[in-house]
Amino acid sequence: MNEQIRAREVRLVGPDGEQVGIVPLERALQLATDVDLDLVEVAPMARPPVCRLMDFGKFKYESALKAREARRNQQQTVIKEMKLRPKIDPHDYETKKGHVVRFLKAGDKVKVTIMFRGREQSRPELGYRLLRRLESEISDLGYVEAAPKQDGRNMIMVLAPHRATKAAATAAKGRGVSGSPVPTRHRRPRPDPPDSPASSRGETFQMPKMKSHTGTGKRVKVTGSGKLVKQQAGLRHNFEGKPSTRTRRLSGTVLVAKADVKRVKKLLGR
């Protein structure tokens, strides 16, 4: 570009694509300076090399925009995998088939693998029948891109969505429609406080649930000095496979927090 060009003469192209002809390099640089543009070598292997007058900064910006738009519009092929067994339970088969249908509706390819173990390897026809059954049941959504093929202990088949199915999935993604609905979390309404209008109208007020007296009695013990102690929580998994000495050391008790003493005593009836 500009002074970096080493040729003595170049074939010059104007800013609007018009052919200027073969001119010396100094003349081409002078023309670029007069119109406040850059002299860019676009075909360096030609004899003489072809150069064009252009705004190189604007050219790079537009090229970046076109590349970004191309990446945005290109379809990325995703291959999902679903593994089955030759003697799969009918309910499990329906569940796996539902996943395959969901993948195809989303526009993805599915690699279905039949896993053989032990003596099942001598009965490859079981896996072949299962794959053909799956193929016939999803024929309205996809087709077999790679026929069933034995690969060691596995048998593999690749399913691909039909063009109409893939177009529908692309349109749904463009509208922002997800493949599966997001479950909403329902919460129970909070009860009205005692001084609220609902309470003043004589409606019942439901207190929040608290630990029962029996449960508190099991969890909390009163020492001889009147202190409240409770068993440490979340340590049951530490007792598994441990010697008795370590178990006794881990199963210690802790004091009840001062903020909870009054409430716990009330539950204990003290």
Length of the chain: 270
More confident position, 184 or 57: 57
What is the percentage of the chain residues whose pLDDT exceeds 90?
25
**CATH number of the domain at 213-268, please?**
4.10.410.60
**CATH number of the domain at 2-72, please?**
3.10.20.80
Sequence-distant (6+) residues with CB within 8 A of 154 are: 113, 114, 115, 116
213 falls in which pLDDT band (50, 70, 90)? low
3-state DSSP of 9-70: EEEEECCCCCEEEEEEHHHHHHHHHHCCCEEEEEECCCCCCEEEEECHHHHHHHHHHHHHHH
Range in 10-14, 38-42, 161-165, 231-235 the model is least confident about: 231-235
Where does the chain hold its CATH 3.10.20.80 domain(s)? 2-72
Please, how many CA atoms are within 13 Å of residue 265, restricted to the half-sphere of its CB?
11
Torsion of CA 93, 95, 97, 102, to 10 degrees: -170
User: What angle in degrees, to the nearest 10, is found between the helix axes of 90-105 and 163-174?
Assistant: 70
Where does the chain hold its CATH 3.30.110.10 domain(s)? 79-174
Where does the chain hold its CATH 4.10.410.60 domain(s)? 213-268
Q: What integer pLDDT is reported at residue 182 of this predicted model?
A: 46
Range in 19-28, 50-59, 256-265 the model is least confident about: 256-265
Segment 162-181, tens digit of pLDDT: 988 888 887 877 666 555 44
Q: What integer pLDDT is reported at residue 202 of this predicted model?
A: 45
CATH class of domain segment(s) 79-174: alpha beta
2: alpha, beta or left? (left if phi > 0; alpha if psi -120 to 50): left
Strand partners of residue 62: none
Q: Does residue 207 surpass a pLDDT of 90? A: no
